[in-house]
Amino acid sequence: MEAFCGYKEMFQSELLPQSNGWLRKKSLAGTMNLMGRLVFVVLACGLLASAAEPASVPPVAVKFLGLFQQLRDAQESQAHHHPQRVSFHLQDTEINDYLRYALHATPRPGIESVTVKIFPQNYISTYTIVDFDAVERWKPGTIPTLLRPVLHGKKSIWVDYRFQASRGTGTFSIEKAYYDKIRLPGFFVSKVIEIVAARQPEKYDTSKPLPLPFGLRELSTAEHVIAGEN
């Protein structure tokens, strides 16, 4: 799948190639699951968490905030044994508009912006601007020597992942992770994930299973659309 920036020759300049051109399978699952969790954390931060409400709220934010309130109300009803079903279909263009609003209204440590592109079969591309100076400041020595000439300041990271979400929990597998045309080493990516997630106000711990927010039980995708229900 072609996602962002028209990358056509991604495999020609790997920083730390392995025998199979990527990380070995034994170490892949843990690292990629961490990445998947952070991607989901990023979306949860901007998409499924409360944002501060300035005086002027754009229409797309009104729609999303209304959906969040419906889901909260349904959770409360469920707690009193009166289940209410809430379902939704959201376009990736709407999600991106809301993410811009949410991250402006409630800035997130280490995260400048997030853009998503949604494909069928639960495949999502994300383009995230990460503040690598902040990451290095929070934990000196995180950025490997070979990456320091390029990963400083605010830089964009491209991550494609596939998820499975049902019965209130999600699992993830990363398909691709790059800065520009450089494949990022797994040990480095996992460390950045841990640091950025821990710095969020919610103090996310990416070493633990991540439940779906707001009592959601199902999530799935079609072309440019994500659907969910509680």
Please tell me the predicted confidence (pLDDT) of residue 36: 44
Q: Tell me the DSSP string of 157-224.
A: EEEEEEEEEETTEEEEEEEEEEETTEEPPHHHHHHHHHHHHHHSTT---TTS--BPGGG--EEEEETT
Q: Which residue has the tokens 């000196």?
A: 140
Alpha-carbon distance 89 to 71, whole Å?
A: 14
Please tell me the predicted confidence (pLDDT) of residue 159: 80
Q: What is the pLDDT of residues 71-81, one digit of tens each?
A: 889 988 888 88
Q: What is the pLDDT of residues 190-216, one digit of tens each?
A: 778 778 878 877 666 666 666 777 888
pLDDT at 92 over 90: yes
pLDDT at 67 over 50: yes
Please tell me the predicted confidence (pLDDT) of residue 59: 92
Please tell me the predicted confidence (pLDDT) of residue 209: 62
Please tell me the predicted confidence (pLDDT) of residue 154: 95
Choose between 78 and 186: higher pLDDT.
78
Please answer whether residues 110 and 95 qualify as being in contact, where contact means their C-beta atoms are separated by less than 8 angstroms: no
Please tell me the predicted confidence (pLDDT) of residue 93: 95
